[in-house]
A and B are shown apart, each in its own frame.
Chain A
Amino acid sequence: MDEKKPKRAAVRTPMPEQPAEVRRNNFNEVALGYTLEQAMQEAQRCLQCKTPVCEKGCPVEVNIKQFVGLVAKGDVPAAYQKLLETNSLPAVCGRVCPQETQCEEVCILAKKGQPVCIGRLERFAADQFVASSACEQVTGKNACAIIDEKLRVACIGSGPASLTAAGYLAGLGIKVTVFEALHELGGVLVYGIPEFRLPKSIVRREVEGLRTLGVEFITNYVGGKTITVQELFDQGYKAVFIGVGAGLPWFLGIPGETLIGVFSSNEYLTRINLGRAYDFPNWDTPIFPAKNVVVFGGGNVAMDAARTALRLGAENVTIAYRRTKQEMPARIEEVHHAVEEGVQFELLCAPVAFLGDEKGYLKGVKLQRMCLGEPDASGRCSPVPVEDEYFELICDLAVIAVGTGPNPILLSNTPGLKLTRRGYIEVNETTQETSIQNLYAGGDISTGSATVIAAMGAGRKAAKAIYERLMQNR
């Protein structure tokens, strides 16, 4: 064997993408994924540091050094197996994690140039593995026989936090049942994140993977309504994990908000993602077509909504944001994609009223000019209204993407559950346990809106603590 070291490329291997002018007309995935050659070339850029700091940046502690090393050698099944040891949803993470502020941010290569594309490699390994159907090889290793039929754990919600907790526990031989309120599994991965960023087939594949590990899934069960936490304990579950997401859309509280054509981002995206309204009338859920769309907000959800509106044929899509692009909480890549596709930005403005016609349809929005003031609690410059400076935008559809709060359904039906000042579930930071013994929570319902990977990190932490408690009490 020729052991000569390959020459290390200075720049990142670019990700093949659908051209902007093509993709703005379809719902297919924007990023197309690496080929084996591209992945190996990129993986070979990794320095294989003695102390891999990148791994400290990862909420689920992926063995980045090892998996990237395996990809560099072209051993994809082994790389995937390595990923699965700590991450139940690698194909999802490889697509939606903000690697630029996590593992890739601290990559040693980033200090002098460009970091290794860890996320793209994760995605590659996960996708390739399924494509090459090396399933048994890997699941054979990860699936454990059930330790004890009586050691059952319930997860409420089937988003990233719950799926991670379920995957971790199932891998250790614990019987897990996941209760989902909607009809499809995946939580925000299915109703929130659009097809062009995270195909549903990928989510379904990850869920199926968990099913082969022995996780049981029950849909159409609303925690707090169909079943309460106490009832789960009564049924013999030894621990319950709440991963229901935030799930209550914030509105702006301005006049005209109930006009037809004003949507919360949750409704807009749920109709289109969960309901596949982009394929109406083949799918039954409708969304009405619009010419001029204004989206309020500056996060990933706002970008998703704006890019979705373009794909549904809107002529003008504008993101209206109170601050400037620098303060936007969205991932740089998402803003970049939105700009490429033709989304316009109206910065430093805030809506003050929606304007409608006599039939109750949205016709436009009145906005007030803002300027940047002193930094606020988030460290970002706060928007300050400019007196008497107003303008109007014509629109027949508006999407409000200014965040979510805690959905009260489960919380109000769980007596004794301690909440934070902001109304989220208070948890022990080490174990994710709530004020009720053996009841754990993680993800947006304990932190407020955050990332998929943060939720997964919480799910993993909770699962570890649950497992330890179960073993102690055996």
Chain B
Amino acid sequence: MPNKIVKKRSLIPGSTSEVVIEAPHIAAKAKPGNFVILRVWDQGERIPLTIADADARKGTITIVYLVLGKTTAHLETLKEGDSILDLCGPLGRPTHIEKVGTVICVGGGTGIAAMHHIAKGNHLAGNHVVAMVGARSKDLLLFVDELQAFCPEVLVSTDDGTCGQKGFVTDLLKERLCSEYQISPSELDSVKTSLADRLATDKGIAEVVAVGPVPMMRAVAQVVKPFGVKTTVSLNSIMVDGMGMCGACRVTVGGVVKFACVDGPEFDGQLVDFNELASRLGAFRTQEKISSEHFHKGGCCTHG
């Protein structure tokens, strides 16, 4: 059977799961940063999900999803051995990865899973990868073991302090950047652009990659800005076809309208209009609620 779920594991019970799917044609080509579009049943919606890992030899790809709307709730009802009706990919431009030195990879929520694939790619390219992951509390942290398997540094923060440092992941980032450039966080606010100019040529930290909820990516971009370090964010816009046909995923980057599906999903975090992105992500909120309620009332059949 194509697209068979060969392994399923609950990462955060009732909220986040990981599925390993048999899809040799996608696994053979999937690169960090790529995504797939899937459909769970024959009246289903196409939704994009980032590829968290791929194993070309085994012919599998790994997807991590947060049970949020109707389609992910439906996906959650599938078990090992079941098949995903439609699976299409790999889509999007892969992450631009080259040997540059130190790369900080920041992840939040299910974005940690997508970030994992990018971190792994950077590690394989010979970069020193510093992974920073954050969650509200310890139980909601994902992929820490997987990241520790290859990242020389995995820094963890939780909002409630149940694991790693207490606070936001962006605090970790701020501290790390300040120590790297030998300034104190309090100094940071006052130096800003001059600092950016001075440090732009410093290749200590070559890039910061952030994948996660919009507020987190926006905060990361703000933290990095004064340091002038290249900032890459991966956007999770609404998509229909995922291959440049519809433009649902359009996003303004540096004043120019881009399609997240074919021009991205990764863009320069300093140039993305995050307000617009956040607003467009909510375009179908009312319908999403109706769809979820319909599903939970049993208004939607499950496929065999």
Residues of chain A at the chain B interface (Cβ within 8 Å): 181-183, 191, 219-222, 225-227, 247-249, 251, 257-258, 260, 263-264, 266-267, 270-271, 275-276, 280-288, 359-360, 407-409
Given A183-B39, A407-B244, A409-B243, decide whether A288 and B286 contact each other with a Cβ distance below 8 A.
yes
Given A181-B88, A226-B89, decide whether A281 and B299 contact each other with a Cβ distance below 8 A.
yes
Once the chains bind, are B286 and A270 in contact (CB under 8 Å)? no
Q: Which residues of A contact B246 (CB under 8 A)?
A: 249, 264, 266-267, 270
Once the chains bind, are A222 and B91 in contact (CB under 8 Å)? yes
A183 CA / B25 CA spacing, docked (Å): 16
Q: How far is the CB of B215 from chain A (nearest CB, A)?
A: 16
Verify if B279 is at the interface (C-beta below 8 Å from A). Answer: yes
A257 CA / B250 CA spacing, docked (Å): 9
Q: Which residues of B contact A263 (CB under 8 A)?
A: 248
Q: Which residues of A contact B300 (CB under 8 A)?
A: 281-282, 284
- Contact residues of A: prevailing secondary structure: loop
Once the chains bind, are A258 and B91 in contact (CB under 8 Å)? no
Q: Which one of A251, A280, A281 lies within 8 Å of B247 (CB-CB)?
A: A251
Given A219-B86, A266-B247, decide whether A271 and B240 contact each other with a Cβ distance below 8 A.
yes
Fill in one digit per residue for B226-265: 1 if any A CB lies within 8 Å of its CB, else 0.
Answer: 0000000000000011011111101110000100001000
Q: Which one of B70, B89, B241 lies within 8 Å of A284 (CB-CB)?
A: B70
Q: Which residues of B contact A287 (CB under 8 A)?
A: 287
Name B79-96 residues within 8 Å CB distance of A.
Answer: 85-91
Verify if B294 is at the interface (C-beta below 8 Å from A). Answer: yes
A219 CA / B86 CA spacing, docked (Å): 8
Once the chains bind, are A276 and B240 in contact (CB under 8 Å)? no
Question: B292: nearest residue on chain A (CB-CB)?
Answer: A281
| Interface-side segment among B5-13, B40-48, B97-105, B174-182 | B40-48
Q: Which residues of A contact B191 (CB under 8 A)?
A: none
- List 10 tightest A-B contacts by C-beta distance, closest first: A286-B287, A360-B279, A267-B246, A284-B45, A281-B294, A220-B88, A183-B86, A283-B43, A264-B247, A285-B45
Q: Which residues of A contact B26 (CB under 8 A)?
A: 226
Q: Which one of A264, A276, A281, A285 lies within 8 Å of B46 (CB-CB)?
A: A285
List 27 interface pairs A-B (beta carbons < 8 Å), by A numbering: A181-B241, A191-B245, A219-B86, A221-B88, A222-B243, A225-B90, A249-B247, A257-B257, A260-B283, A263-B248, A267-B246, A270-B240, A275-B46, A275-B240, A281-B295, A283-B43, A284-B70, A284-B291, A286-B45, A286-B287, A286-B291, A288-B283, A288-B284, A359-B279, A360-B280, A408-B244, A409-B262
Once the chains bind, are B87 and A225 in contact (CB under 8 Å)? no
Q: Which one of B88, B245, B257 lies within 8 Å of A407 (CB-CB)?
A: B245
A221 CA / B3 CA spacing, docked (Å): 13
How many residue pairs link A and B with beta carbons under 8 A? The number is 127
Q: How far is the CB of A280 from chain B (nearest CB, A)?
A: 7
A257 CA / B300 CA spacing, docked (Å): 35
Residues of chain B at the chain A interface (Cβ within 8 Å): 25-26, 29, 39, 43-46, 70-71, 85-91, 240-241, 243-248, 250-252, 257, 262, 275-276, 279-280, 282-284, 286-288, 290-291, 294-295, 299-300
A359 CA / B282 CA spacing, docked (Å): 10
Q: Which residues of B contact A284 (CB under 8 A)?
A: 43-45, 70-71, 291, 300
Given A225-B90, A226-B25, A284-B291, decide whether A247 and B244 contact each other with a Cβ distance below 8 A.
yes
Q: Which residues of A contact B44 (CB under 8 A)?
A: 283-284
A222 CA / B46 CA spacing, docked (Å): 15
Q: Which residues of A contact B291 (CB under 8 A)?
A: 280-281, 284, 286
Question: A404: nearest residue on chain B (CB-CB)?
Answer: B245
Question: A249: nearest residue on chain B (CB-CB)?
Answer: B247
A280 CA / B300 CA spacing, docked (Å): 11
A257 CA / B90 CA spacing, docked (Å): 28
Once the chains bind, are A220 and B276 in contact (CB under 8 Å)? no
Q: Which residues of B contact A280 (CB under 8 A)?
A: 287, 290-291
Once the chains bind, are A226 and B280 in contact (CB under 8 Å)? no
Once the chains bind, are B245 and A247 in contact (CB under 8 Å)? yes
